Amino acid sequence: MKEMEGQYALELIMKGKRIDERNFEDFREIKIEKNIISKAEGSARVKMGETEVIAGVKLNTGEPFSDTPEEGVLIVNTEFTPLASPDFESGPPGEDAVELARIVDRGIRESKCIEVGKLCIVPEEKVWMVFVDIHIINDQGNLLDAAALAAIVALLNTKIPKIKDEEIVRGEYEKDLPVVFKPINIVVGKVGNNFLVDPNFEEEKILDAKLSVSVRDDEKICALQKQGKNEVSMEDLEKMVDIAMKKSKEIRKLVK
Amino acid sequence: MTKTEEKMIVNGKRIDGRKPDELRKIEMKVGVISRATGSAHVSFGNTVALASVHGPRELFPRWMQESESGIFRCRYNMAPFSVEDRKSPAPDRRSVELSKVIKLAIEPALFLEDFPKATIDAFIEIIEADGSTRVAGINAASLALAHAGIPMKDLIVACSVGKIDGTLIVDLNGKEDNNSECDMAVAMIPTKEKVTLLQMDGVITRKEFSELLNLAKENCKKIYELQKKALKEKFG
């Protein structure tokens, strides 16, 4: 059954069409909600069509790494909850979950969008640790772009709690988390000689290859990862980067 | 290893005396592990990777078998003593991700349809790490597959490129890796010039991306010649 759905998507793409009647460079409808979880210091829900992802940010204090004694710590984790797909199982994260979390992590970390130098409380002793936990709620394809988008929206809306007598006062806030860039992740899929963005679940099955590109506000590329089974020519990689850079501008307008 | 304030490029030379587009001393040897079907030893300067290939062999448990095709599995692992601070021997998130992308980087070279119900297993062990370990591992695994006599469309070749002090460089060592503005790992099918692995982090412009990709291609071709030489030394 699964293969049949993919096969139909493939036949349509070869005719220049998509299973949900989008153009190749169209995203599904994107809905973003902010501050959906009151217990979290920052949070967001992103829906891309039926795909749904929640990101929650929690701040704790902790010891800095010895090589960066005056910088806060960023940790990005992704949970493929079994409720999101019959293909996900509970237990330790599989390689797909680990890869996704690490790509989202690199997009945020390498873009230097969080000013980690401003997250120091006591040098060498105490800094803010920023935990971004991404929960996949429904997998209808392109989890990566949805997860990265949820993460950056949640971070942009994160507030740093007050500290009183060396204890965190939950629910009372001192200031906003210092976020200076909005990196946007765009996955570009390749099927034959066609390139498309925001592949849905059926399309993901039949893509020859994908390129995940994270782009910063100043049009600099801050992370890349080739995915999928097939090899890609250098010219095609260049085309895919161009599409991603163009689409990133459009998606960034949704991020506040 | 930590970030330093030290200049990474002085008078056009890198910290280890290399020019920006110069590879480290590369050594390659096949047939280093007698119990394996195929094996290889690859070093880029102080980075040392060992790879062995077992199979094709019957795949157990049976439910994992594919009736129409064989499967290829790959494990990348860093030895606890390969880095400055001992690494826990348990697989970490980095190794899990790298094992996956390395498998996908090598798979396009194999004819898995010729081995129904079987598996080909490649194991990469980083004995000493001084930057660019994943590409050393890919070069080693590719050689080990060839040494095992497994039919391949081509060898897979990999190299790392990056940007440091505003200069584009090739084959980053550990210290450069920690202080670079960007590092990018590329694996390709050299005769077809098709890319099978691309991972980049750091901050670069669109133009620098094209330049880095070309720099990687040029150096992959040099490494390809060394791989062929290593195989000829064994079989030629």
pLDDT tens track, chain B, 236 positions: 456 778 999 999 999 999 999 999 999 999 999 999 999 999 999 999 999 999 899 988 888 888 889 999 999 999 999 998 888 888 899 999 999 999 999 999 999 999 999 999 999 999 999 999 999 999 999 999 999 999 999 999 999 999 999 999 999 999 999 999 999 999 999 999 999 999 999 999 999 999 999 999 999 999 999 999 999 999 87
Contact A233 B193 (CB under 8 A): yes
Contact A222 B107 (CB under 8 A): no
Which tens digits make up the pLDDT trace of A132-168? Answer: 999 999 999 999 999 999 999 999 999 999 999 888 9
Residues of B in contact with A106 (CB under 8 A): 201
Window 200-219 of B, Cβ < 8 Å to A? 200-206, 209-210, 213-214, 217
Shortest alpha-carbon distance between residue A1 and chain B (Å): 18
Option in B189, B192, B201 nearest A223 (CB):
B201
Which tens digits make up the pLDDT trace of A162-189? Answer: 999 888 998 899 999 999 999 999 999 9
Q: Are B70 and B129 in contact (CB under 8 A)?
A: no
Contact A99 B100 (CB under 8 A): yes
pLDDT > 60? residue A2? no
Residues of B in contact with A67 (CB under 8 A): 1-3
Show the CA angle centred on residue B203, arms to residues B108 and A68, nearest 5°.
110
Shortest alpha-carbon distance between residue B2 and chain A (Å): 5
Residue B228 phi, psi dihedral angles, 5° rounding: -65, -40
Give the 3-state secondary structure of chain B: CCCCCCCCEECCEECCCCCCCCCCCEEEEECCCCCCCEEEEEEECCEEEEEEEEEEEECCCHHHCCCCCCEEEEEEEECHHHCCCCCCCCCCHHHHHHHHHHHHHHHHHECHHHCCCEEEEEEEEEEECCCCHHHHHHHHHHHHHHHCCCCECCCCEEEEEEEECCEEEECCCHHHHHHCCEEEEEEEECCCCEEEEEEEEEEECHHHHHHHHHHHHHHHHHHHHHHHHHHHHHHC
ipTM: 0.82
Average pLDDT, chain A: 93
Contact A231 B213 (CB under 8 A): no
Does B4 contact chain A (CB < 8 Å)?
A: no
Distance of CA A22 to the CA centre of its chain: 22
Does B93 contact chain A (CB < 8 Å)?
A: yes
CA-CA distance, A191 to A12, in Å (whole number)?
A: 11
Does B100 contact chain A (CB < 8 Å)?
A: yes
Within a domain: A190: yes
Within a domain: A247: yes
CA-CA distance, B71 to B76, in Å (whole number)?
A: 17
Confidence bin at A3 (pLDDT 50/70/90): low
Q: Are B44 and B115 in contact (CB under 8 A)?
A: no
CA-CA distance, A99 to A204, in Å (whole number)?
A: 16
Option in B96, B189, B209 nearest A231 (CB):
B189
* Domain count for chain A: 1
Tokens read off for A18: 């998509």
Ramachandran class of A124: left when φ > 0, alpha when ψ lies in -120 to 50, beta otherwise: left
CATH number of the domain within which A38 lies? 3.30.230.70
Within a domain: A175: yes
Number of H helices, E strands in chain A: 5, 13
Q: In CATH, what class is B16-235?
A: alpha beta
Residues of A in contact with B160 (CB under 8 A): none
Parse chain B into domains and list their residue ranges.
16-235
DSSP secondary structure, A13-73, as one string: HHTT--TTS--TTPPPPEEEEE---TTSSEEEEEEETTEEEEEEEEEEEEPPPTTSTTS-E
Q: How many residues does chain B have?
A: 236
Does B95 contact chain A (CB < 8 Å)?
A: no
Within a domain: A17: no
In terms of Cα–Cα distance, which of B142, B146, B193, B139 is closest to B171?
A: B139
Residues of A in contact with B107 (CB under 8 A): 229
Q: Are A187 and A142 in contact (CB under 8 A)?
A: yes
Asked which of A57-71, A224-238, B55-69 is least confident by mean pLDDT, the reply is B55-69
Q: How many residues does chain A have?
A: 256
Contact B200 A230 (CB under 8 A): no
Within a domain: A87: yes
State the DSSP H helix or E strand holding residue A161, giving kind and residue range, or none if neither: strand A159-164
Shortest alpha-carbon distance between residue B50 and chain A (Å): 23
Beta-carbon contacts of B174 under 8 Å, excluding residues fewer than 6 positions away, are B1, B46, B47, B129, B130, B131
Position of tokens 């069409």? A17
Contact A102 B100 (CB under 8 A): no
Contact B195 A245 (CB under 8 A): no
Does B198 contact chain A (CB < 8 Å)?
A: yes
Within a domain: A188: yes
Residue A232 phi, psi dihedral angles, 5° rounding: -135, 140
Shortest alpha-carbon distance between residue B34 and chain A (Å): 31
Contact B188 A99 (CB under 8 A): no
Confidence bin at A1 (pLDDT 50/70/90): very low
Tokens read off for B146: 């060839």
Contact A227 B99 (CB under 8 A): no
Option in A66, A220, A238 nearest B205 (CB):
A220
Within a domain: A132: yes
Contact B94 A102 (CB under 8 A): yes
Position of tokens 């600099």? A220
Residues of A in contact with B104 (CB under 8 A): 227-229
Residues of A in contact with B206 (CB under 8 A): 219, 221, 241-242, 245
Does B189 contact chain A (CB < 8 Å)?
A: yes
| Upstream peptide bond of B56 is cis (omega within 30 degrees of 0) | yes
Shortest alpha-carbon distance between residue A193 and chain B (Å): 15
Residues of B in contact with A241 (CB under 8 A): 206, 209
Mean pLDDT of A227-252: 97
Within a domain: A220: yes
Confidence bin at A53 (pLDDT 50/70/90): very high
Residue A81: give the domain boundaries: 25-252
